[in-house]
Structure 1
Amino acid sequence: MSEDIDSKKETERPIPSEGIRRFSERLEILVQEHGSVRSYASSASLSEGVVRKYLKGDTYPTLDRVDMLAAAGNVNAAWLVTGEGSKHPGEENQEGLEEFALIPGYNIEVAAGIGSFPDGEESTRKLAFRHKWLRFRGLKPESLVLVFAKGDSMEPTINDNNTLMIDTSNRELNDGHIYVIRTDGHLIVKRIQKLWNKGILLLSDNKEYREQQIEPNEADDLEVIGKVVWIGKDV
């Protein structure tokens, strides 16, 4: 008698979505994982007969029963109904993280003061960047670090306290690009211009600062930390 009452509560209706039409297939997966229809129905607090009707595709559960069936199978209700999204609760968060690379940031300032670059130090923060975005730019997450810019010598390109992403694998100096360099124990961020005599000009984008010429015999003493490949700034 109770099964007849239960079945009358279900409403037969057209199901336009292919995902919903295959609801019974996903339900069958949960039944198999549970071991039997009886065991699964009991866990969902439903009668075995009603669950079998769902499996045959004779009828579809109401929303409250979808939640009961999903909870019994430890799956997301949206996945059970449509087949879309993550199957198990919590997987959507993991899927989101897998889309991003977490780039380590260090409490290091460049362009002013004596500084050291991270070498075995613990990062103080991490920023998330999409793998797709990094691949498009030819960047590898394991070669990237984030530091702070200090001072106004590179304005308007780089402002005080901007975050800089440094590609530490790119240490070959090329004209017109910006690099973080250690010279005389100082970390600086400058635009580079090579000279005909193998010397180097360290240029500031702020024209109030003079260029610094590195003679050929001094160029070997420069330590190139890496190329600046991204600047984080407020608009």
Structure 2
Amino acid sequence: MIYELKTMGARIRYVQEQVGGSSNLHEMTDVSTSQLSRLIRDDVKNPGLIQLQAIARAGGVSISWLVDGDDGHGDAPGITNASGYVAVSYYEEGNAPVMFERSYLVNEMSTNPDDCVMFKAGDDSMATTINKGDKLLLDTSRTKGDGLFLVKIDGNVFVKRLQWLPGAGVDVVSDNKAYRSYQLSPEKLEVIGQVVWIGSHQ
């Protein structure tokens, strides 16, 4: 299971689910279920500090993470450790971490969570396999072989399909036929990680 925690409402919803639902969170915090629903929808412009402190305490998270999504480390290790979820940060700054269930990464994706990063596709050169705006999970321990990879070429970062040609370099392929594919020598290419999951933005 995957969570994106971009808003305070989404983070409160996450805490609510981790404690077993709105009734349980109400019992733990004395915040009414109707108020919790308004907070989750981000309908409350100035939520009370006492209520937020109670919700943070119930979820075992810092109030700074609940309010701003930041606990000083860019993720939420308290709930990651307690609930079995992992906050996977983006390769580039500017996007909130995405929460993945640890067992999903290990058992379904066969990845070590410590090797995972996120990336948001910035163009349509890999359409329709990967469309602009799609969210990608990368395993940075996988940098060899054929497949979809995040690569750095001349200082620029791209998602491309690689096909290694023994003794002849590597084909850098765009699935969108409107873009030309080309061949590079291995030293011209830095492989950051392999794409192991694609989350469509549509």
Q: TM-score, normalised by structure 2?
A: 0.56
Match of 2:164 among 185, 194, 214: 194
Q: CA RMSD in A?
A: 2.8
Q: Is the 8 A contact 1:104 1:123 kept in 2?
A: no
Q: Which residue of 1 aligns with 2:200?
A: 233
The letter for the 1-side match of 2:118 is L
Counterpart Cα distance in 2 of 1:199 and 1:167: 23
Counterpart Cα distance in 1 of 2:81 and 2:170: 44
Gaps of 5+ in 1: 1-69, 72-88, 109-121
Q: Which residue of 2 aligns with 1:166?
A: 138
Counterpart Cα distance in 1 of 2:170 and 2:112: 28
Q: Per the alignment, in what secondary structure is the counterpart of residue 132 of structure 1?
A: helix
Percent identity reads 33
Counterpart Cα distance in 2 of 1:179 and 1:101: 22
The answer on 1:90 being equivalent to 2:58 is: yes
1:67-95 deviation digits (Å, cap 9, x = unpaired): xxx99xxxxxxxxxxxxxxxxx9379959
Counterpart Cα distance in 2 of 1:191 and 1:96: 35
Counterpart Cα distance in 2 of 1:123 and 1:130: 22
Show structure 1 runs of 4+ deviating over 4 A: 91-97
Aligned-residue offset at 1:184: 1.2
Compared CA separation, residues 131 and 150, structure 1 to 2 (3 A) = same
Counterpart Cα distance in 2 of 1:160 and 1:212: 21
Aligned-residue offset at 1:124: 4.1
Counterpart Cα distance in 2 of 1:166 and 1:179: 8
Q: Which residue of 2 aligns with 1:100?
A: 85
Aligned-residue offset at 1:179: 0.6
Compared CA separation, residues 152 and 143, structure 1 to 2 (3 A) = same
Compared CA separation, residues 95 and 222, structure 1 to 2 (3 A) = closer
Q: TM-score, normalised by structure 1?
A: 0.49
Aligned-residue offset at 1:166: 1.5
Q: Which residue of 2 aligns with 1:129?
A: 100
Counterpart Cα distance in 2 of 1:159 and 1:125: 20
Aligned-residue offset at 1:187: 0.9
The letter for the 2-side match of 1:126 is P
Q: Which residue of 2 aligns with 1:142?
A: 114
The letter for the 2-side match of 1:202 is V
Q: Select the structure of larger CA radius of gyration.
A: 1
Compared CA separation, residues 128 and 95, structure 1 to 2 (3 A) = closer
